[in-house]
């Protein structure tokens, strides 16, 4: 169900597979690769003629990633070519982080799942484009803007990372325009300290209302709750977020009040996914 204008990431298992896919590898791209590959970073450069339009969705650029997981790399090695592939979910539902999630979406439509265990990072790769003068972060992930700046100097953060797109606005990263990461429930992002959050949720307790909170907060809440990691540990939030969103759907949540993460470091990626899951509906508590 993936829209045709949403480009795929091309995955490699050896650094030498990169050069034929792009028009050239500038020094700053090689620096990034040295620091962060193999790992959760996708680098966009102008494409070579090897990349068909089906992969780049008609764009003049190609996104390449070198994953760290040994099973992913074994699959690419077995293919004998770089692998253009999406995440193993139905378009629109949260990305899978466990084999069970893949089956929940795709059982009956696919022959097999290779189970490499639960994902380490949890949210999708960081996407950066080097196809323009100033490097630009298109999608935050496990590699943070701060880490990228240490290697590249100034990095722009695309406005679509934190803000909704205006109607008809053109996007550099087509994935950002879809209502990605959307559970069936109506998610509302609630910003405020713990006591304000608890008061807000408890005063809205009702049939079908659930909370998406941090570990340890459940006992103060008067609605059923799913926790998505430690308040002070953005990596644990990233790891558990998509599983938590799927659980809320399984539990039949209709409205979900999500305790908002801090949008810095890996937390920027968590915030970016949650605010999309919430369709940019935010409650700010004083």
The pair of three-digit structure tokens given for residue 95, joined into one six-digit string: 């990305």
Contact set for ligand AMP, span 137-166 (CB under 6 A) = 138-139
- Residue pair 274/281 in contact (Cβ under 8 Å)? The answer is no
Binding-site member from 12, 21, 63, 128 for ligand AMP (CB under 6 A): 63
Binding-site member from 93, 97, 126, 173 for ligand AMP (CB under 6 A): 173
Contact set for ligand AMP, span 82-111 (CB under 6 A) = 86-87
Smallest gap, in angstroms, from Cβ of residue 110 to ligand AMP?
A: 16
Distance CA 96, CA 119 (A): 9
Smallest gap, in angstroms, from Cβ of residue 154 to Mg ion?
A: 28
Smallest gap, in angstroms, from Cβ of residue 103 to Mg ion?
A: 17
Binding partner selected for residue 70 from Mg ion, ligand AMP, none, CB under the kind-specific 5 to 8 Å limit = none
The pair of three-digit structure tokens given for residue 201, joined into one six-digit string: 């949720």
Closest CA to 13 of 54, 71, 60, 58: 71
Binding partner selected for residue 9 from ligand AMP, Mg ion, none, CB under the kind-specific 5 to 8 Å limit = ligand AMP
Distance CA 40, CA 17 (A): 17
The pair of three-digit structure tokens given for residue 165, joined into one six-digit string: 């797109």
Residue nearest ligand AMP (C-beta atom):
175
Opening angle at CA 258, ends 252 and 259, nearest 5: 150
Distance CA 38, CA 13 (A): 8
Decide whether 127 or 245 has the Cβ nearer to ligand AMP.
127
Enumerate the β-bridge partners of residue 45.
62
Q: Does 87 bind Mg ion (CB under 5 A)?
A: yes
Contact set for ligand AMP, span 21-50 (CB under 6 A) = 44
Q: Coil, strand or helix: which one is 166?
A: coil
Q: Does 59 bind ligand AMP (CB under 6 A)?
A: yes
State the sign of the Cα–Cα–Cα–Cα dihedral 185, 191, 196, 200.
negative
Residue nearest Mg ion (C-beta atom):
87
Chain contacts with Mg ion (rule: CB under 5 A): 86-87
Chain contacts with ligand AMP (rule: CB under 6 A): 6-7, 9, 44, 56, 59, 61-63, 86-87, 124, 127, 138-139, 172-176
């Amino acid at each position: 169900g993936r829209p045709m204008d949403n480009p795929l990431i091309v995955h490699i298992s050896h650094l030498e597979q990169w050069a034929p896919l792009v028009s050239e590898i500038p020094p700053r791209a090689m620096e990034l690769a040295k620091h962060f590959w193999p790992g959760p970073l996708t680098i966009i450069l102008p494409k070579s003629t090897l990349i068909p339009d089906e992969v780049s969705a008609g764009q003049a650029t190609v996104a390449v990633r070198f994953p760290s997981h040994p099973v992913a790399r074994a699959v690419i090695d077995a293919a004998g070519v770089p692998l253009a592939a999406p995440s193993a979910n139905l378009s629109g539902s949260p990305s899978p982080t466990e084999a069970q999630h893949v089956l929940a979406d795709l059982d009956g439509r696919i022959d097999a799942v290779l189970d490499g265990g639960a994902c380490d990072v949890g949210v999708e790769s960081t996407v950066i484009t080097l196809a323009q003068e100033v490097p630009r972060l298109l999608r935050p992930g496990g590699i943070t803007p701060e880490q990228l700046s240490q290697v590249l100097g100034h990095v722009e953060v695309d406005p679509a990372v934190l803000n909704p797109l205006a109607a008809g606005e053109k996007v550099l990263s087509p994935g950002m325009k879809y209502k990605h990461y959307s559970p069936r429930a109506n998610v509302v992002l609630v910003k405020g300290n713990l006591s304000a959050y608890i008061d807000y949720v408890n005063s809205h307790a009702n049939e079908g209302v659930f909370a998406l909170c941090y570990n340890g907060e459940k006992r103060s809440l008067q609605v059923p709750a799913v926790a998505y990691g430690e308040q002070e540990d953005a990596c644990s939030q990233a790891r558990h977020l998509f599983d938590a969103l799927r659980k809320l759907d399984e539990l039949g949540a209709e409205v979900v009040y999500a305790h908002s993460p801090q949008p810095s470091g890996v937390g920027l990626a968590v915030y970016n996914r949650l605010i999309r899951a919430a369709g940019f509906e935010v409650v700010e508590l004083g």
